[in-house]
Amino acid sequence: MDYNLEIVVQDAKDALSTIDDLEELSRLRNNLLSKKSQLGTARSSLATLPLDQRREIGAKIELARKEIESALAERRQLIEVRTRKEKLAADEIDITEWLESSTPARGHQHIVQRTRDELEDVFVGMGFSVNEGPEVETDWYNFEALNIPPAHPARGMWDTFYLDLGEPETVLLRTHTSPTQIRVMESGELPIYAVMPGRCYRRDTPDSRHLPIFHQIEGLVVDIGISFANLAGTIEDFTTAYFGAGIHSRLRPSYFPFTEPSAEFEITCTICAGSGCRTCSHTGWIELGGCGMVHPAVFEAVGIDSKRWTGFAFGFGIDRCAQMRYQIPDMRVLMENDYRFMKQL
Amino acid sequence: MKVPLSWLKEFAPFTQGAETIADTLSDLGLVVESVKHIGNGLDQILVAKVLEIDAIPGADKIRRVIVDTGNGEEQIVCGASNFKVGDHVPLASVGTTLPGGMEISRRKMRGVVSNGMLCSGNELGLSDDHTGLMVLGEGITAGMPLTDAIGIKPDTIYDLSIEGNRPDALSLLGVARDLAAKTNTPLYDQWQDDVLKRNSTDLHRDGTALGVNIEVLSTDLCPRFTASVFNNVSIEDSPSWIARRLTLAGMRPINNIVDASNYVMLELGQPTHPYDLSRLARHTLRVRASMKGDSLVTLDGVNRVCGARSVGPGDDLRDCLICDGDDVPIGIAGIMGGESTEISGSTAEVLLEAAYFNPMSIARTSKRLGLRSEASLRFERGCDPNMITISIWRFAEILRQSAEYKGTIDVGDTLEEPGPIKVNLSRINNLLGTDLGIGTVSDTLSRIGFKCRGTDRLEVIPPTYRPDVRREADVAEEVARLIGYSTIKPARPRSPRVGMLSPYQSARRRLREIAAGMGADEAWCSSLVSESDHAALGLDMPAITVENPLSADESVLRLSLLPGLLKSAAHNIDRRVEGIRLFEVGIIFPYPTDRHVDRFSKQVLDEREMIAILFAFNDDSGENAMAALATITDSLGSRPLIDVWQESYSDWVLPAMSIGESVSGEAGEASGAMSERAAGANTGAGDGAVTGTGAGAGARPEVYSLHGLHPSRSGIVTIGRGRIPIGTVGEVDPLVLNHFGVTSTINDTRHRRVGWLQLDLKLLLESNHEMPTASPISKYPSTDIDLSFEVPDGVSSSKISSVLHQACIDTVESIRLIDAYRLDNRRSLTFRIRLSSLDHTLDDAEIASIRDKCIQQVHDKSGAVLRSI
């Protein structure tokens, strides 16, 4: 027995350390552990040894074999890890290529519709229902029931599109969402806490702040004991809920035939937060809409006892709200459905 | 209305700053649109007299001017040329700062030293004129301060927006009255007494006096009419203070008579009209309603035809006219006078009309003629009938130097004084949310001329200049306005209800989310389209027309969302944006079957809210639209029974009916790839008996017709067992795409396909609101069988699918078309049927038996045979 097993093991380890490939590794394994290998020869020569040495040497050979096996396994794992690493490294890509080439799979909801949803949600949170009415209305619903008799000078406030149905100027495209108030009140269910959003039409030449087709949201509360103070409270609650805690409201006298007292409501300028800028003409306030206590003549038109019930109404432009919130310089872009605009918001 | 602060101060000694006054006016509801300060920084500007004007060698734009400054001579270089030697002009000497902030220094131009600047009106902030120097009038001397020379002091001009209910605020007096009340400033009433003392005369109640004849034939249109005679009139320019005030208030001075009339209107709110008496036939004024054929040429040179068109319900077409003794119309009452009796340079006798016209009549006529004037603005709001005589006397006073007032004829006077308004103090407080005492309320009201009687239950008599105050609520507004809206403490009301969206509203939002989730951007298209848009789709049904459209492009109400979305797609393609998917939720307006409508009609149209999606991404086709339909249907909690009808493939007849009719549930067996879901979930769930669809107007199925769609790649979507049409699905007709410009810019040779889906939201969402119930799912392994059929043309795959479904109804998990092709004109469809049982694993024998049954039934019911592989 002239093998030094320690050297055999050491040689095997040395040989292993140069292997980088699984095929070579398996060849080497064969060389190291086959019958013809030094270890194999040593094992087969055991039979020639005297019995007392056989056990001792045999145990040493087995130990050497285990050591080589474990070195092989270790090397195999090393190669496998390295190979996997290399393979993945070769797969490398600049993932910002994906970023730069990606487009959102999802489309966008129209900014006016979204604004309408948000406004509805604020009022729903305040216990209001959302009611809708037709866009084609009669003179009665759009004007007369709202205390605006035919040829009333106040009709000049609403340039109207008339339709070729019925007698001349009896059927029209509603100029505001207020006729829906009449319909809600006519339904006879009291009290009323409702907002009424929808599309309206005015025969105005479009400019950066007006469109002939636009959207309004109207609010109506009719209950026992409703006061002007409640109107002011509701407007203020809505303003801070929708525009943010720093934005407040104020009411100033105005005139609408269907409310008395009437007011216009202004909110803190959202551009300068009230410190004064060009948008608000350096007043710190911008006008948002009109409001007031429901006129007794309107209650009479729908058969509600104005001695018992009082109420308030308010209304403002949804498009204007969106314009203010998203700082859209020219409203006309809202109707163009231009991808370059829609994809921004 | 333009209101100079200096003029306001004639009525009350306002001491507040200009900005405070602006705020106060806005708080009163007299909204200040703009504030303009004039005449500031003029202290150092002096009058200079031009002594010499010389050319400067080599310069043709500037000249050397020697002026007398009142304190020696100065040399100035000047670029203006509108003055001559001897003129007086404004001089800003060296060291002066102009109102615009420009500081004058000594300068040298072309070698000539300029010791100051001669100024234009624009440079001094006094006018918009910058074409030349401000050449001053006579009677002034060099060295005077400019402000003395032209009688101006720094002033503030408020431009007020006066609401339609405030005739009184269209006068300086009215604005001053409100402002005085709000600021606790005493109003001078003295001037009125002075006018009365100096000018009042007895009124002639007879129509004929003073050599003139007045006839009021239509007292309903003109309850009160006065005519005043002025002799020995000399027509000249107005005194400078009148001309200046008119200019500041935005009116152009014309001559002393016209100016006096305008001045009185601005000051007191009463419009008057002067006639040249000598040009008035028979010295007669006759007030009457217009008759057919009446017309006249108004002061603006336009021929006006009376009673030409109705301006709304209740219009009797009567315009109020002023005629002469030959019954020839010479003026449109309360709106504009005629050319024929206009004041001219030779007028020597003036007849002044001051009247009260029916406000509604003036409003109608003004609207009818499309003619508004300062007078009509006031009359249509309702002038103060008690201001008529004082206005005449004020006019006489102003013209004292140049006209002799002979007297006034006053006829009519049938106006009723306003009665008292019963006002309950506690109701006022309840309405406002305040706790005002009786003293506060009556004090507040009395400051603007209201008379109050009583304690808790008040009787309030509004002044005649406030015809808008008629009821308790009007009185409440006056109180609130004067105490200030901002003094009312906001209080939160409390709704007794839970706020929530209706199921329809929630579902509509969900569908919009889903459409966006499918990559479509939400569009907002005009509800108004052109007739040719509808014609391009081949829609030959009538649409509702706008009587007064802004343009022909937007003159009819849309019958489909298709034109709008195609136009939006084309807009984007024109801008080189490819790959478009758009959706819209919007109203379409089917023409009513019942044309009868009056102004009280509760429902004019059966408006239909639709959702439409246009698929124009590069590889889009009708398949995407169909997938969208499947997704939308699937998203509805109730999973209604949806079918698609295509003429050449459907073996069932599309119900020809109006939607409101109830349709029998027996109309046909459930069929269709999508209906399988409903049937599989719950046999009852698909029973889409459409109820509550509103009125039964009948034209709707027409609207949901296939106009504008690809004739062999589109169909009608139906809902329920009764197969009620609710919309369309498929591809857009290539010709229509061309018409709207939706063509590919990438590849012109390739035929572009655009998918289309349009659904009636109400019919879709309200057909079935039942909540679905869950069915148990199998724990045992499932088995797929693939069956390929050779299917005759005209048999739809939905039909095969539904037969397969029936054939294995107890064990089917799903049926899907996995392959479809056509070879040698033979059509092959392959379905994959997944089978399972709730209580065991299906064995080979069972599966074979199901397979045979499927093949047999498909053959029996459709003629399709299993394809040999």
A147 contacts in B (CB within 8 Å)?
none
Question: In the predicted model, what is the mean pLDDT of residues B105-111?
Answer: 89
pLDDT of residue B44: 84
Amino acid identity at B46:
L
Question: In the predicted model, what is the mean pLDDT of residues B368-375?
Answer: 94
A103 Cα to chain B: minimum distance (Å): 10
Per-domain residue ranges of chain A: 5-98, 111-342
Amino acid identity at B443:
D
Interface touch B524/A110, C-beta < 8 Å: yes
Q: Which of A138-142, A271-275, B199-203, B242-246 has the highest mean pLDDT?
A: A138-142
Closest CA to B504 of A127, A194, A132: A132
Question: In the predicted model, what is the mean pLDDT of residues B185-198?
Answer: 82
pLDDT at B674 > cutoff 70? no
B64 Cα to chain A: minimum distance (Å): 43
Q: Are A215 and A114 in contact (CB under 8 A)?
A: no
For residue B523 the two structure tokens come to 């569009």
d(CA B315, CA B309): 9
CA-based nearest residue in chain A for residue B606: A134
**Which of A261, A295, A335 lies at the smallest CB-CB distance from B480?**
A261
User: Among the listed ranges A283-287, B417-421, B526-530, B689-693, which one has the minimum average pLDDT value?
Assistant: B689-693
Sign of CA dihedral B353, B357, B362, B363: positive
B503 contacts in A (CB within 8 Å)?
none
Domains of chain B: 2-39+156-188 (3.30.56.10), 46-152 (2.40.50.140), 191-412 (3.50.40.10), 421-484 (3.30.56.10), 503-596+603-766 (3.30.930.10), 783-866 (3.30.70.380)
A236 contacts in B (CB within 8 Å)?
490
**Which of A164, A261, A263 lies at the smallest CB-CB distance from B544?**
A164
A157 contacts in B (CB within 8 Å)?
164
Reported as type and span, the H/E element at residue B6 is: helix B5-8
B586 Cα to chain A: minimum distance (Å): 9
Please report which confidence band the pLDDT of residue B640 belongs to, taking 50, 70 and 90 as the band edges.
confident
Mean pLDDT score of chain B: 88
Closest CA to A258 of A311, A298, A310: A298
Q: Please give the share of chain B, as a percent, with pLDDT higher than 70.
A: 92
Site from A337, A341, A342, A344 to mutate, B interface, most B CB atoms within 10 angstroms: A337
Q: Please give the share of chain A, as a percent, with pLDDT higher than 70.
A: 99
A297 Cα to chain B: minimum distance (Å): 10
Q: Are A19 and A25 in contact (CB under 8 A)?
A: yes
Site from A155, A199, A260, A267 to mutate, B interface, most B CB atoms within 10 angstroms: A260
pLDDT at B744 > cutoff 80? no
Fold of A111-342: BirA Bifunctional Protein; domain 2 (3.30.930)
pLDDT at B127 > cutoff 80? no
**Which of B26, B431, B495 lies at the smallest CB-CB distance from A126?**
B495
pLDDT of residue A232: 97
pLDDT of residue B413: 67
Question: In the predicted model, what is the mean pLDDT of residues B573-589?
Answer: 91
A324 Cα to chain B: minimum distance (Å): 19
Question: In the predicted model, what is the mean pLDDT of residues B791-797?
Answer: 92
Only one residue has tokens 């993945």, namely A88
Scored b (16 or more CB within 10 A) or e, B496-523 reads eeebebeebbebbbebbebbbebbbbbb
d(CA A114, CA A99): 27
Amino acid identity at A130:
V
Q: Work out the angle at residue A155's Cα, subtended by the Cα atoms of residues A151 and A160, and round it to the nearest 5 degrees.
A: 105
User: Among the listed ranges A49-63, A241-255, B248-262, B378-392, which one has the minimum average pLDDT value?
Assistant: A49-63
Which ranges of chain A have pLDDT less than 70? 1-3
Instruction: State pLDDT tens for residues A219-265.
Output: 999 999 999 999 999 999 999 999 999 999 999 999 999 999 999 99
d(CA A298, CA A258): 6
B557 contacts in A (CB within 8 Å)?
136, 163
Interface touch B548/A170, C-beta < 8 Å: no
Please report which confidence band the pLDDT of residue B24 belongs to, taking 50, 70 and 90 as the band edges.
very high
Which alpha helices (H) appear in B598-665, and where do they start and end? Answer: 622-635
B572 contacts in A (CB within 8 Å)?
337-339
B474 Cα to chain A: minimum distance (Å): 6
pLDDT of residue B689: 34
B499 contacts in A (CB within 8 Å)?
123-129, 193
A170 contacts in B (CB within 8 Å)?
313, 597-599
Q: Does this complex have an ipTM over 0.90?
A: no
Instruction: State pLDDT tens for residues B290-332.
Output: 999 899 999 999 999 998 888 776 788 999 999 999 999 999 9
Site from B357, B599, B608 to mutate, A interface, most A CB atoms within 10 angstroms: B599
d(CA A236, CA A249): 5
Question: In the predicted model, what is the mean pLDDT of residues B693-716?
Answer: 70
Question: In the predicted model, what is the mean pLDDT of residues B259-267?
Answer: 97
For residue A233 the two structure tokens come to 């409270």
Of B795 and B751, the one with more pLDDT: B795
pLDDT of residue B668: 36
Of B584 and B144, the one with more pLDDT: B584
**Residues β-bridged to residue A196:** A218
Q: Are B311 and A156 in contact (CB under 8 A)?
A: no
Kindly compute the dihedral angle of the four CA atoms of residues B83, B89, B95, B98, in this order, to the nearest 10 degrees: -100
A343 contacts in B (CB within 8 Å)?
521
CA-based nearest residue in chain A for residue B588: A135
Closest CA to B388 of B350, B420, B415, B364: B415
B515 contacts in A (CB within 8 Å)?
107
What are the DSSP E strand ranges found in B339-403? 350-356
pLDDT of residue B844: 95
Site from B161, B495, B505, B607 to mutate, A interface, most A CB atoms within 10 angstroms: B495
Interface touch A227/B512, C-beta < 8 Å: no
pLDDT at B782 > cutoff 50? yes
Q: Are A167 and A140 in contact (CB under 8 A)?
A: no
pLDDT at B230 > cutoff 70? yes
Interface touch B493/A128, C-beta < 8 Å: no
Instruction: State how beta strands B580-588 and B521-522 pair.
Output: parallel
pLDDT at B410 > cutoff 90? yes
**Which of B29, B430, B471 lies at the smallest CB-CB distance from A253?**
B29
Instruction: State pLDDT tens for residues B598-623.
Output: 888 888 999 999 999 999 988 889 99
pLDDT of residue B823: 86
Question: In the predicted model, what is the mean pLDDT of residues B174-198?
Answer: 88
A125 contacts in B (CB within 8 Å)?
499
Interface touch A109/B587, C-beta < 8 Å: no
Instruction: State pLDDT tens for residues B795-813.
Output: 999 999 999 999 999 999 9
CA-based nearest residue in chain B for residue A123: B499
Interface touch A212/B550, C-beta < 8 Å: yes
Neighbours of B102 (CB within 10 A): 12
Interface touch B490/A236, C-beta < 8 Å: yes
